[in-house]
């Protein structure tokens, strides 16, 4: 059933309208001296919440090795096909733990939808969506992050697993499995 | 010749001050609106030399002091579009008409007085102390409506046209109430035994004791509301009504012509606030019942500063009200004008006629 | 100097008055009317009748012509380039013009103008108080009659506009 709400008739003061105006003016005056809400962007940055999905980056392990083994899972899973990997062999065999590393690794930021599937699928924890949220450039080419750029953005992941290093050491010690 | 030169210098100073005030009221409008809405307003524009002074530079930049210069330059250098469908003559004429009355009315606005130390002779600081000051002001001010009407008509497009029509009806409606509301003031100034005058300077002289706003509050209120309506400020901004009419009468204008409209509107506001100060708030008297003792340059400076301060308060009030109240509907504006303000001002006039009669006898 | 201004403003007033009648575009006509009123106000200033000058601008240029423009715009009057004059209108116009010319001749040729200008010591329009006194004592009757005329006109308009509405209500 519909409920009809009777609007209260205005009393004289309300009809005069002037007290209402004064009340409004005092409200706005209060807001005028109140602290401001504006965040002055380039100087002030918003706090980034945990688990934020920013620009995808590649990371290195604490010993400076590339974590990516160019398995191309991320390239496969990427919904907008923003990732392109050309696998290659690691040249520096002395320090290498594995055989493969990406020769080229491009992420087209004009395609990336920041879904985070690459990060989720990566078996090596090599690709991370980090805190950077503003990408800009003057040309399409500039908006494609190549390998150097990705590592520069990514930095080092301070984890201490050293999965492949331990495996290599174990292999060297003769108990591979 | 010397006299003429002095007058010209004086006039130039007045115009420069008025234009500066207009420019900075635009800034004030932006700043106050941002503060009221919890923002900070324009705070980036800076000048190369002054802006890089150690402490003052950043402070001025944050206050947006250099913003009007940037705004003005923008108005000057933007492309001046004259749409193909307009009536060119009136289209160009309208912005000019908008500024001329606003600048002309300033000539009769006194903004201080100068008292000779030796003789005690007082001269008003005004461009033209004419006998019919307030009427001149109303007459020239009422010509300002043509800019809006012509702009609306010449633009030959729906929304400006509606804005022009609304403005013409509104301004005529509120002019009546405005004219009637100041009559009690002049009835008191011209009480029997006084030399007949409609000069604004004499009004201020008559307010050495009690200010008119104190014992004629209804007059002051009606005048204030009418000023809002006459300057097309927000509760009455029927002529532009952005949400209804795109931009109102200046929709088709761009660049410097739009700038002229803008400056004209603010000049009207400055003059309106100044007249309100003169008529009802004691002009350059800092406090009621305070006898004026300062003479010479010092006295002149104090009087001008007091007057400017009061006028600027009204500028602030204009802005403050704009960012507080919603716009009236058009029929509400008309109802308020004809059914409330006009009868009220007539009743007010009659009441004060009786009061002044008894005060005199 | 005063003579020069007198001729200047008289010429402007006459020319713009002619333009009001002759221009096809109604908005142009209204604008010429304003120019005419303003130049007439200037003539009043030359006569030191400042009050009249200001009232002329305030009432006629500031309010009446705005209303004209308002109506013109509201009705959206087209430029009727080729409207035929009815013989009745033409005849009435001619008769009116003849009466006007005769009136002007009668006023100019009589001695009363010169006589009054010598009688009056100074123009009473210059001093507001004198002007008000004259208006409300000597010329009280003409003023009241004029006011009454306006009242009649207003009532007439109200009656006319009311009558238009009645058939709509009945149907």
Could you give all domains of chain C from N- to C-terminal order, each with its CATH number? 1-81 (1.20.120.1200)
* Whole-number pLDDT of residue C82: 57
Q: Do B149 and C127 touch (CB under 8 A)?
A: no
Q: Where are the domains of chain B?
A: 79-360
pLDDT digits (tens, 9 = 90+) for C76-128: 666 555 566 788 888 998 999 999 999 988 888 876 666 555 555 555 555 67
The shortest C-alpha distance from C56 to chain B (Å) reads 8
Q: Do B324 and A21 touch (CB under 8 A)?
A: yes
Residue B117 near residue B292, CB atoms below 8 Å: no
Q: Do B169 and C127 touch (CB under 8 A)?
A: no
Q: Report the SS3 class of residue A30.
A: helix
Measured between beta carbons, the chain B residues lying within 8 angstroms of A36 are 35, 38-40
Give the integer Cα–Cα distance in Å for A77 and A92. 29
The shortest C-alpha distance from A106 to chain B (Å) reads 38
Chains C and A touch (3+ CB pairs under 8 A): no
Sign of the alpha-carbon dihedral angle for A38, A44, A49, A52: positive
Lowest-pLDDT range of A98-107, B141-150, C115-124, C158-167: C115-124
Lowest-pLDDT range of A1-15, A56-70, B256-270, C157-171: C157-171
Q: Which residue(s) pair with B123 in the sheet?
A: B114
Give the integer Cα–Cα distance in Å for B311 and B271. 8
Q: For chain C, give the mean pLDDT.
A: 80
Task: Return the ∠ at Cα B208 (arms to B205 and B212), rounded to 5°.
Answer: 90
Model confidence pTM above 0.95: no
DSSP for chain C reads: -HHHHHHHHHHHHHHHHHHHHH-SSHHHHHHHHHHHHHHHHHHHHHTT-HHHHHHIIIIIIIIIHHHHHHHHHHHT----TTPPPPHHHHHHHHHHHHHHHHHHHHHHHSSHHHHHHHH-SS-TTTSHHHHHHHHHTTTHHHHHHHHHHHHHHHHHHHHHHHHHHHHHHH-
Q: Which residues of B touch A (CB under 8 A)?
A: 32, 34-40, 43, 221, 320-321, 323-325
Domains defined for chain A, CATH in brackets: 58-173 (3.30.70.3270)
* Whole-number pLDDT of residue C164: 56
Give the integer Cα–Cα distance in Å for B126 and B202. 12
Per-residue pLDDT for chain A (177 aa), expressed as one digit of tens each? 788 888 888 887 777 788 888 988 999 989 888 888 888 888 888 888 988 888 999 888 888 888 888 888 998 999 999 999 998 888 777 777 788 888 888 999 999 999 989 989 988 888 888 888 888 889 998 888 888 888 888 888 887 777 778 888 888 887 766
* Whole-number pLDDT of residue C167: 55
Give the integer Cα–Cα distance in Å for B141 and B271. 10
Angle, helices B255-280/B133-142, rounded to nearest 10 degrees: 150
Give the integer Cα–Cα distance in Å for C42 and C154. 30
Measured between beta carbons, the chain B residues lying within 8 angstroms of A25 are 320-321, 324
* Whole-number pLDDT of residue C171: 44
From A32, which residue of chain B is nearest by alpha-carbon distance? B36
* Whole-number pLDDT of residue B294: 72
The shortest C-alpha distance from A32 to chain B (Å) reads 4
Q: Kindly state the tokens that stand for C126.
A: 């210059």
Measured between beta carbons, the chain B residues lying within 8 angstroms of A37 are 38-39
Q: Do A25 and B37 touch (CB under 8 A)?
A: no
Give the integer Cα–Cα distance in Å for C27 and C75. 12
Q: Do C57 and B139 touch (CB under 8 A)?
A: yes
- Name the phi and psi angles at A128, rounded to 5: -130, 140
Q: Kindly state the tokens that stand for A10.
A: 């205005």
Q: Kindly state the tokens that stand for B51.
A: 């802006």
pLDDT interval class at B168 (50, 70, 90): confident
Q: Kindly state the tokens that stand for B318.
A: 């204009």
Lowest-pLDDT range of B190-194, C29-33, C124-128: C124-128
Q: Which residue(s) pair with B250 in the sheet?
A: none
Q: Do B135 and C132 touch (CB under 8 A)?
A: no
How large is the ipTM?
A: 0.78
Q: Do A24 and B38 touch (CB under 8 A)?
A: no
* Whole-number pLDDT of residue C114: 61
């Amino acid at each position: 059933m519909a409920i009809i709400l009777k609007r209260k008739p205005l009393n004289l003061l309300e009809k005069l309208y002037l007290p209402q105006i004064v009340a409004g003016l005092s409200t706005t005056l209060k807001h005028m001296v109140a602290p401001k809400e504006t965040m002055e962007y380039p100087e002030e940055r918003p706090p980034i919440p945990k688990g934020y999905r920013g620009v995808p980056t590649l990371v290195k392990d604490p010993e400076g090795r590339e974590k990516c083994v160019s398995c191309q899972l991320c390239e496969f899973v990427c919904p907008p096909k923003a990732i392109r990997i050309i696998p290659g062999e690691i040249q520096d065999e002395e320090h290498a733990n594995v055989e493969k590393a990406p020769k080229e690794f491009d992420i087209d930021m004009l395609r990336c939808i920041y879904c985070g599937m690459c990060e989720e699928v990566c078996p090596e924890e090599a690709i991370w969506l980090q805190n950077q949220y503003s990408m800009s450039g003057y040309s399409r080419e500039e908006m494609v992050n190549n390998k150097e750029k990705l590592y520069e953005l990514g930095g080092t992941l301070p984890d201490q697993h050293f999965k492949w290093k331990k495996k290599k050491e174990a292999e060297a010690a003769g108990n591979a499995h | 010749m010397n006299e003429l030169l002095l007058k010209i210098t004086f006039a130039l100073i007045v115009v420069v001050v008025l234009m500066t005030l207009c420019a900075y009221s635009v800034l004030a409008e932006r700043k106050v609106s941002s503060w009221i809405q919890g923002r900070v307003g324009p705070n980036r524009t800076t000048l190369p030399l002054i802006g890089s002074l150690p402490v003052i530079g950043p402070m001025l930049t944050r206050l947006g002091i250099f913003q009007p210069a940037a705004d003005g330059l923008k108005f000057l250098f933007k492309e001046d579009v004259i749409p193909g469908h307009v009536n060119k003559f009136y289209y160009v004429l309208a912005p000019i008409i908008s500024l001329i009355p606003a600048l002309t009315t300033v000539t009769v606005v006194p903004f201080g007085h100068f008292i000779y130390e030796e003789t005690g002779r007082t001269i008003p600081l005004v461009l033209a102390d004419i006998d019919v000051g307030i009427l001149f002001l109303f007459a020239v001010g009422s010509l300002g409506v043509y800019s809006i009407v012509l702009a609306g008509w010449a633009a030959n497009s729906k929304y400006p046209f509606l804005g022009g029509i609304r403005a013409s009806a509104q301004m005529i409606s509120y002019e009546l109430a405005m004219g009637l509301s100041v009559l009690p003031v002049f009835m008191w100034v011209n009480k029997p035994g006084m030399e007949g005058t409609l000069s604004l300077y004499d009004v201020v002289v008559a307010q050495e004791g009690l200010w008119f706003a104190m014992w004629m509050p209804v007059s002051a209120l009606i005048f204030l509301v009418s000023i809002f309506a006459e300057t097309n400020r927000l509760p009455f901004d029927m002529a532009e009504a952005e949400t209804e009419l795109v931009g109102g009468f200046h929709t088709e204008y761009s660049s410097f012509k739009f700038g002229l409209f803008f400056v004209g509107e603010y000049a009207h506001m400055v003059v309106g606030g100044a007249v309100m100060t003169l008529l009802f708030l004691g002009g350059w008297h800092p406090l009621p019942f305070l006898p004026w003792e300062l003479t010479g340059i010092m006295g002149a400076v104090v009087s001008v500063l007091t007057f400017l301060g009061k006028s600027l308060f009204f500028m602030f009030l204009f802005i403050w009200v704009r960012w507080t109240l919603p716009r009236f509907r058009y029929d509400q504006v008309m109802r308020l004008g004809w059914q409330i303000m006009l009868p009220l001002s007539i009743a007010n006039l009659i009441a004060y006629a009786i009061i002044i009669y008894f005060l005199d006898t | 100097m005063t003579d020069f201004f007198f001729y200047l403003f008289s010429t402007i007033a006459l020319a713009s008055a002619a333009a009001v009648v002759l221009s096809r575009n109604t908005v142009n006509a209204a604008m010429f009317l304003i120019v005419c009123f303003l130049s007439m106000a200037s003539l009043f200033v030359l006569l030191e009748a400042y009050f009249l000058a200001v009232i002329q601008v305030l009432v006629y240029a500031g309010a009446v012509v705005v209303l004209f423009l308002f109506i013109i715009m509201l009705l959206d009057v087209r430029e009727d380039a080729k409207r035929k004059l009815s013989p009745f209108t033409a005849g009435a116009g001619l008769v009116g013009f003849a009466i006007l010319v005769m009136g002007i001749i009668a006023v100019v040729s009589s001695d009363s103008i010169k006589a009054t200008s010598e009688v009056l010591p100074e123009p009473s329009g210059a001093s507001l108080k004198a002007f008000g006194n004259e208006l409300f004592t000597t010329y009280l009757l003409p003023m009241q009659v004029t006011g009454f005329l306006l009242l009649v006109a207003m009532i007439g308009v109200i009656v006319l506009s009311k009558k238009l509405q009645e058939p709509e209500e009945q149907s």
